[in-house]
Amino acid sequence: MIERSFVMLKPDAVLRRLMGDIINRFEARGLKIVGVKMLNISRELAEEHYAEHEQKPFFNDLVEYITSGSTLAMVVEGDDCINLIRKMVGSTNPKESDIGTIRGDYALETGRNIIHASDSPKSAKREISLFFDDSEICEYKMPDEHLVYENI
Ligand code: IDP
Ligand code: MG
């Protein structure tokens, strides 16, 4: 099923000039970027985005981290892409992330793990609407869709 996931490159990914490499991984896989923008996340938006972690001991550090600089927010589309992107991102703790995953290749610490990706269809819907207006999503057909997908 075609899904959309919310992906955010955290401030360290932007500062470390990893945006291109990471976006390229999604494009090379055959996924479609249908929304993208850079933004400095407000404290309010960060708290709302990470509301599920409000009671966790790392919550304040997490909000500080995510609001410490510019981020790149994306909506990525593709077949069953929510789980697929989580696999491409790797474990929350980069030391446990497989080599070949984004965190496993570019990060060392949980508190500097460079990327966020939605963990379920419900989170994806919530997160996309938190960061993007409908008018900011672009629908288009990839000319090689028949090469990426068997039954198109
Ligand atoms: P996820 O990003 O892999 O979905 P979550 O458990 O949803 O991981 O946690 C959200 C973010 O909070 C993580 O990506 C990481 O930046 C931060 N975080 C999670 N657990 C810890 C921790 O134990 N210490 C510091 N930061 C943490
Ligand atoms: Mg999460």
The pTM (predicted TM-score) of the whole model is 0.98
CATH assignment at residue 81: 3.30.70.141
Match 């309010």 to its residue by tokens: 44
Q: What is the pLDDT of residues 76-107, one digit of tens each?
A: 999 999 999 999 999 999 999 999 999 999 99
How far is residue 104's CA from residue 95's CA, in Å, rounded to a whole number? 7
For residue 152, pLDDT over 90 is answered with no
Determine contact, residues 108/94, Cβ cutoff 8 Å.
yes
In a domain, 124, yes or no: yes
> Which of 1, 152, 18, 2 has its CA nearest to residue 76?
2
User: For 103-144, how does the pLDDT look when each residue is reduced to its tens digit (9 = 90+)?
Assistant: 999 999 999 999 999 999 999 999 999 999 999 999 999 999
- Give the ligand at the shortest distance from the Cα of 8: 1
Q: Which amino acid is at 35?
A: G
How far is 123 from 18, CA to CA, in rounded Å? 25
Count how many domains the chain has. 1
Residue closest via CA to ligand 1's atom 26 equals 111
Say which amino acid occupies 137: I
97 lines ligand 1 (CB under 6 A): no
Ligand 1 in contact with 116 (CB < 6 A)? yes
Q: What pLDDT is stored for residue 9 in this prediction? A: 99
Domain that holds residue 13: 2-40+71-135
User: How do residues 1-50 score in pLDDT, each as one tens digit?
Assistant: 999 999 999 999 999 999 999 999 999 999 999 999 999 999 999 999 99
